[in-house]
Amino acid sequence: AVIISWVTPDEPGSSRVQFGTSEDKFQASAEGTVSNYTFGEYKSGYIHHCLVEGLEHNTKYYYRIGSGDSSREFWFETPPKVEADAPYKFGIIGISTLMLVYGGIHGPDLLRRVQHISHGYGLQEIMK
């Protein structure tokens, strides 16, 4: 299973993820949740989380979030099936330590960059 998360800035929209194993052909869908919060004067964007289950090992999946002109398409690969004692290297890095850590991780099986999605920022806000 994977959790797909994203932020919409102005309107909550749909938290549905359409997915499948062929590009532009989404055979299944999953419904997620959306929330936002305020802290003093600050109001977060709409934070979406969707749990996608029933995935096969070692498979490339394509998925779409949003609808109409505001939809976006992405992909991910599931890891191969491994035995219980198989070694598995992974890394998780935040945006503030990206360059410091990246050079020290050699041949990871999984490397993901954690951004400030938990705070409700969109990527454009982070990169300003």
pLDDT in tens, 80-117: 888 888 776 666 555 554 444 445 555 555 555 555 44
Question: Does 31 or 114 have the greater pLDDT score?
Answer: 31
Longest dimension (CA), the chain: 50
Q: Please check whether residues 61 and 99 belong to one and the same domain.
A: no
Same domain, 63 and 73: yes
pLDDT at 48 over 60: yes
- Which residue, 37, 115, 29, 103, is CA-closest to 71? 29
Domain of residue 1: give its range.
1-81
Same-domain pairing of 37 and 56: yes
CA distances from 113 to 10, 27, 99, 105, 117 (A): 25, 28, 11, 13, 11
The total of structural domains in the chain comes to 2
Average confidence score pLDDT of the chain: 78
